[in-house]
Amino acid sequence: MKYIDEYRDGRLAKDIARQIAAAVDPARSYHFMEFCGGHTHAISRYGLEDLLPANVRMIHGPGCPVCVLPIGRIDAAIALAMRPEITLCTYGDLMRVPGSNGSSLLKAKAAGADIRMVYSTLDALKIAEAEPNREVVFFAIGFETTTPPTALALRAAIAKQLPNFSIFCNHVLTPAAIQNILESPDVRKLGTIKIDGFIGPAHVSTVIGTEPYEFFAEEFQKPVVVAGFEPLDVIQAILMLVHQVNDGRHEVENQYIRAVTALGNEKAQNEVARFFELRESFEWRGLGEVPYGALRLRPEYAQYDAEKRFSMVTPAAKDNPACECGAILRGVKKPADCKLFGTVCTPDTPMGSCMVSSEGACAAHWTYGRFREKARTQDEGRAVA
């Protein structure tokens, strides 16, 4: 495919890997966090870590919108869907995310709740139009990438005068999460997580641009390189980060110049600003309460706000204590560090959201990484023998 295959050229990837090997200082280590789950899957799928020197380490970040949704919000959605007048529309990834006590939207659907999987906000609008006697609620999740479509759905609902359509808003914000990580005790005090730089998210940055990351680069002196999702994008971003660390620089660089600009998509930003405002605080799985880390509908659109319209309550709920999903999202642990991984927790029987989502770190490791890890262990065993 034109403009795709060029970014999957193994020969070029190996050449960039040789440049990284030549550039790194053997006396130090480099720790880079890829924030976005799309980057995590690209790294696992194409075996990029196998091309890197041993002193260059990649850390999985919390950039999976399904993964970071706390259990309490899943429980609230299930409770709403069980009401007889409600039709809850949601994306497929959310259907199997575990709630409290082994519950899930999929199990609630099997128990009789009217829960429908949709591919876009427009699908939910069509259902509201076709079934005016049903209260249709769209379970809205995602980072800055998926927020503009939700805003456009609200614009369309207002234009069509649909009184039976509303939004359960769970849109979260990338910059707030990055700041939360950099200010966390794991990074600042305990040193549990060492971060020398970030690979900035691709799709998010097409909307918000690169400017919002300049604060983190300057305030925390951490370089950020915004990168695309193809393997050559990611490995080139790693090389750019290595050069910045070696030079003592902490700047925002844009590797993904074919899609990302400094200012981003201002039209999309304006649509979001019209309908949404910042929440003072919002819980992220693994990160806890993140100040100004999410959006809610503006008061003037309260009739389309499912939380207000149906007096929704988010119950206090805790993760399965045996599941390490929260620690994996913070970068403290890797999927293989979880005792449940690959035993009771698999894609068929997920115990945590990181194994469910197509962007989850555990799903990536299950699909790609565990085989290379097994092969690497066998190679090391033969070398010892």
| CATH number of the domain residue 265 falls in | 3.40.50.11740
Tell me if 385 is assigned to some domain: no
Please, which pLDDT band fits residue 373 given cuts at 50, 70 and 90? low
| The one-letter amino acid at 26 | P
Which residues are CB-neighbours of 150 under 8 A, at least 6 positions away? 121, 138, 140, 167, 169, 171, 275
| pLDDT confidence band for 372 (50 / 70 / 90) | low
Residue 383 resides in a domain = no
Contacts of 25 (CB under 8 A, 6+ apart): 246
- Residues 212-262: tens digit of each pLDDT: 999 989 999 999 999 999 999 999 999 999 999 999 999 999 999 999 999
Does position 211 have pLDDT exceeding 70, yes or no?
yes
The total domain count for the chain is 1
Percent of the chain whose predicted confidence (pLDDT) is above 70: 94
At 1, the pLDDT band (50, 70, 90 cuts) reads low
pLDDT for position 383: 43
Mean pLDDT (the chain) is: 92
| Structural domain span for residue 363 | 1-372
Please report where in the chains the tokens 């649509």 appear, as a residue.
271
User: Looking at the domain assignment, is residue 380 inside a domain?
Assistant: no
Q: Is residue 342 part of a domain?
A: yes
Pairing, β 295-297 against β 276-278? antiparallel
What confidence score (pLDDT) does residue 271 get? 97
pLDDT above 90 covers a percentage of the chain that reads 84
- The pLDDT assigned to 187 comes to 82
For 314-363, give the secondary structure using H, E and C.
Answer: CCCCCCCCCCCHHHHHHCCCCHHHCCCECCCECCCCCCCHHHHCCCCHHH
Closest among 133, 194, 203 to 162, alpha carbons compared: 133
pLDDT at 370: 62
**pLDDT over 60 (residue 103):** yes
CA pair distance 10, 13, nearest whole angstrom: 5
pLDDT digits (tens, 9 = 90+) for 9-49: 999 999 999 999 999 999 999 999 998 999 999 999 999 99
Q: Does position 375 have pLDDT exceeding 70, yes or no?
A: no
Write the CA distances from 18 to 14, 56, 244, integer angstroms.
6, 13, 17
pLDDT for 14 equals 96
- 369 has pLDDT over 90: no
Q: What is the DSSP letter of 264?
A: -
Report, in angstroms and rounded to the nearest whole number, the Rg of the chain calculated over CA atoms: 21
Residue 189 or 17, more confident: 17
Report pLDDT for 246.
98
Is 378 contained in some domain? no
The lowest-confidence range among 5-19, 152-166, 338-352, 358-372 is: 358-372
The helix/strand/coil state of 170 is: strand
pLDDT at 380 over 60: no
194 in helix, strand or coil? coil
For residues 157-164, average pLDDT: 96
Pick the more confident residue, 381 or 203: 203
In a domain, residue 155? The reply is yes
Report the candidate in 347, 351, 304 with the shortest Cα–Cα distance to residue 168: 304
Residue 317, pLDDT score: 86
- Is pLDDT of 68 > 70? yes
Inform me whether the pLDDT recorded for 316 exceeds 80. yes
Is the pLDDT score of 144 beyond 90? yes
Residue 47 lies in a domain: yes
Q: What is the pLDDT of residue 191?
A: 65
Q: How far apart are CA 165 and CA 363, in angstroms?
A: 33
**Domain assignment present for 264:** yes
pLDDT at 189 over 80: no
